[in-house]
Amino acid sequence: MPELLVRVEERAKIDPRFAEALEVFVDAPDHGAGSYRRTAADEINSARRRHAVDEFRSGSLTTAEVQRLLGLGTPQAVHRLRSRGKLIGLQSGNATWFPSWQFTEGQIRDDLPRILDLLNRFTGDPVTSDRAMRMVRDDLGGRSISSALDDRRWTSAAWNALAELAG
What is the per-residue pLDDT for 106?
93
> Residues of the chain whose pLDDT is less than 50?
none
* Surface-to-core class of residue 100, CB atoms within 10 Å of its CB (0-12 exposed, 13-18 middle, 19+ buried): middle
What is the per-residue pLDDT for 112?
98
What is the per-residue pLDDT for 66?
98
What is the per-residue pLDDT for 44?
75
What is the per-residue pLDDT for 165?
93
What is the per-residue pLDDT for 20?
73
Q: Are 101 and 134 in contact (CB under 8 A)?
A: yes
pTM: 0.74
Q: Are 136 and 144 in contact (CB under 8 A)?
A: yes
